[in-house]
Amino acid sequence: MKKGFTIIEVLVALVLLTVGAGGAFALLSRTISFTSTANGRLVATYLAQEGIEIVRNIRDTNWLQGEALNEGIADGDWRVDYTEAELDNPYDGEFLKLSGGMYQYVLGDDTSLQRNITIGNIADGITVDVEVSWTTKGQAHSVESSTILYNWLPQREPE
Mean pLDDT of 3-32: 82
Above 80 in pLDDT, residue 94? yes
Q: Average pLDDT of the chain?
A: 87
pTM passes above 0.95: no
Above 80 in pLDDT, residue 152? no
Within the chain, how many helices (H) and strands (E) appear?
1, 7
Q: Work out whether the CA dihedral 118, 36, 108, 57 comes out positive or negative.
A: positive
Query: By mean pLDDT, which of 30-39, 42-51, 59-68 is the weakest?
Result: 30-39
